[in-house]
Structure 1
Amino acid sequence: MAVSHITTVDSTAGGVSRLAARGVTVGYGGRTVIDGLDVSIPPGLVTTIIGPNGCGKSTLLRTLTRLLKPAGGTVVLDGEDISRLRTRDVAKRLGLLPQAPVAPEGLTVADLVARGRHPHQSWLRQWSSDDASVVERALAMTGVLDLADRPVDSLSGGQRQRVWISMTLAQGTDLLLLDEPTTYLDLAHAIDVLDLVDDLHESGRTVVMVLHDLNLATRYSDHLVVMRAGAILAQGHPREVVTEELLYEAFGLRAKVIDDPMGDRPLIVPIGRAHVRLDRGTPA
């Protein structure tokens, strides 16, 4: 289906992007998932990638972090082709929270977070008091300092997500990429984690996330990238991007878009068959 009527809003004009994909093509097992995609991550903002299942959201995020090698095109990090950088140097510049990470059995919170300092270690530079201070600050920022001696596998889902985010903070990067950080969390814990992400952004970090919940994505994002079938359908601030037409175009979702009574972002009200009043102008 043609999507030319969807307006793409450029929100990168405020600064030079540190991370971008240029003409990137990626696939698995002979199947192309992303074909010739271009995207720039706006600096200093929370960018969220949304789209239907299988559209290439996580594939794009994994490509931006060099976990996947594109068959064509280039990922640029701080003006350099990311494929030419050493793994250690990439880890010093960006932190990644993968989807549903698993810690080794019995590993304590402090030990897991300390692994975030590995990119800064070498034969000449071993563990130091500075590293210990960074780990303690990361634990404190995410509110899990009191859990430092607990095994990771003894924590609740929300606590574990905070610990994993703490590990990425311990890397000392100001560019964080989070692949579905609210997966398997109930709504209260999901909001708790996203409030933490917002705090990290307010402290000066650029954040890129993949989320499934559209209303959480609009509330917690400064910039949305909407994907469908491996391509970008629209991008920009949620107020400019989220429309009833786009939701149907991207997701096949019939919905009303109204003002969020708790904020300045749009609120999406899905329309199904049950409990829907059709006497207020709702389309049949």
Structure 2
Amino acid sequence: MSAPDGGPSGAPAASRLRAEGATLGYGETVIARDLDFAVADGAVTSVIGPNGCGKSTLLRALGRLLRPRSGQVVLDGRPIQRTAPRDVARTVAVLPQSPLAPPGLTVGDLVMRGRHPHQSWYRQWSSTDAAAVTEALEMTGVADLADRPLERLSGGQRQRAWISMALAQGTDLLLLDEPTTYLDLAHQIEVLDLVRGLNRDHGRTVVMVLHDLNLAGRYSDLLVAMHDGEIRASGPPDEVLTPDLVADTFGLESKVVPDPVSGSPLVVPIGVRGAGG
């Protein structure tokens, strides 16, 4: 099933990054078929859905980490597979789930790695790179931690450091795969406040995979709901997070009420569909 490409419930037809009829998979396994999805420029979009539905697979394809079996991903009007990886990395930053770093790596060294796409044998480290790293550290609030090893940071600080590295790439498009995984609630809010600030204050377009429906509804301009490799719904949170959608996609009976703080849809679980009681 395809996501709508225009109108109030879908991403705009003119989009810098989009999947067109993309079939995605690993080895002999097909995860998603014929996906159409246009990233909404200037917005925060969250992809939601049960485990194994294709959320992370879609994100990997959008970031040129996975080649579609058929169809294509288009970046700035050109098939992304025809664009050199270094050129893609200057435009799209991808932060995978649970990224790893060598032991002893400091925050500053990590963020400097974000400038690798801008390096070459004829263009070495420059004042432009140094300024980009400084700006990224300041935007994420970790400038005072630049000399501290990653393993000595809290979960929220570590995630902000990784986001800082992605920002140092100097891209307008950020793809974040479950940026709140393994974080406690306070650190989840800390990271999502940062993401929203990067969008509102610095104009970053963000696509992220989230599991928590209520946080997705609060922090996103648009939601994309996936199930069994298909996009079942796409649009503003109050149009996507409905009791019927939650039941059909997650097998969960629920009530959806306004969040008393943000006014966004708040999913209140009742029970698993089909369970007795």
Query: Structure 2 counterpart of 1:222, which letter?
Result: D
Displacement after TM superposition at 1:133 (Å)? 1.2
Aligned equivalent of 2:144: 146
Aligned equivalent of 2:110: 112
1:68-89 CA distance string (max 9 Å, x none): 1111110001111000000110
Instruction: Name the SS for the 1:11 alignment partner.
Output: coil
The separation in 1 between residues aligned to 2:99 and 2:154, in whole angstroms, is 14
Instruction: Name the SS for the 1:146 alignment partner.
Output: helix
- 1:60 alignment partner, one of 34, 58, 64: 58
Q: Number of residue pairs matched?
A: 267
Query: Structure 2 counterpart of 1:101, which letter?
Result: P
Instruction: Name the SS for the 1:42 alignment partner.
Output: coil
The separation in 1 between residues aligned to 2:43 and 2:10, in whole angstroms, is 10
Query: Structure 2 counterpart of 1:77, which letter?
Result: L
The separation in 2 between residues aligned to 1:9 and 1:178, in whole angstroms, is 24
Displacement after TM superposition at 1:166 (Å)? 0.1
Aligned equivalent of 1:86: 84
TM-score of the two chains, using structure 2 as the length reference: 0.94
Could you tell me which runs of 5 or more consecutive residues in structure 1 were left unpaired when the two chains were aligned: 3-7, 274-283
Query: Structure 1 counterpart of 2:220, which letter?
Result: S
Instruction: Name the SS for the 1:161 alignment partner.
Output: helix
Instruction: Name the SS for the 1:193 alignment partner.
Output: helix
1:32-85 CA distance string (max 9 Å, x none): 101111111111000000000110000110011111111111000111100000
Residue 266 (1) aligns with residue 257 (2): no
- 2:119 alignment partner, one of 113, 118, 121: 121
**After alignment, is 24-33 or 159-168 more displaced?**
24-33
Q: Is 1:244–1:255's contact at 8 Å kept on the other side of the alignment?
A: yes
1:115-169 CA distance string (max 9 Å, x none): 0001111122110122111101100100000000001111111111000000000
Residue 207 (1) aligns with residue 206 (2): yes
Residue 176 (1) aligns with residue 198 (2): no
Q: Is 1:20–1:41's contact at 8 Å kept on the other side of the alignment?
A: yes
Displacement after TM superposition at 1:9 (Å)? 5.6
The separation in 1 between residues aligned to 2:197 and 2:49, in whole angstroms, is 25
Instruction: Name the SS for the 1:272 alignment partner.
Output: strand
Query: Structure 1 counterpart of 2:224, which letter?
Result: V
How is 1:5-44 mapped onto 2 (pairs within 5 angstroms)? 10-13=9-12, 16-44=14-42
Q: Is 1:9–1:240's contact at 8 Å kept on the other side of the alignment?
A: no
Q: Is 1:9–1:235's contact at 8 Å kept on the other side of the alignment?
A: no
Displacement after TM superposition at 1:211 (Å)? 0.3
Aligned equivalent of 1:69: 67
1:242-278 CA distance string (max 9 Å, x none): 11001000000111000111113111101138xxxxx
* TM superposition outliers: structure 1 runs of 4+ over 6 Å: none
Query: Structure 2 counterpart of 1:46, which letter?
Result: V
Query: Structure 1 counterpart of 2:247, which letter?
Result: Y
Larger Rg: 1
Q: Is 1:9–1:241's contact at 8 Å kept on the other side of the alignment?
A: no
The separation in 2 between residues aligned to 1:22 and 1:272, in whole angstroms, is 36
The separation in 1 between residues aligned to 2:148 and 2:52, in whole angstroms, is 36
The percent of aligned pairs where both chains have the same amino acid is: 63
Aligned equivalent of 2:254: 255
Query: Cα 1:9–1:242, aligned 2, differ >3 Å: closer, same or farther?
Result: farther
- 2:44 alignment partner, one of 43, 46, 52: 46
Q: Is 1:49–1:210's contact at 8 Å kept on the other side of the alignment?
A: yes
1:10-42 CA distance string (max 9 Å, x none): 3334x7211100111111221110111111111
Query: Structure 1 counterpart of 2:225, which letter?
Result: V
The separation in 2 between residues aligned to 1:186 and 1:12, in whole angstroms, is 31
TM-score of the two chains, using structure 1 as the length reference: 0.91
**After alignment, is 220-229 or 116-125 more displaced?**
116-125
The separation in 2 between residues aligned to 1:200 and 1:186, in whole angstroms, is 21
Aligned equivalent of 2:234: 235
Query: Structure 2 counterpart of 1:231, which letter?
Result: E
Residue 186 (1) aligns with residue 184 (2): yes
Instruction: Name the SS for the 1:254 alignment partner.
Output: strand
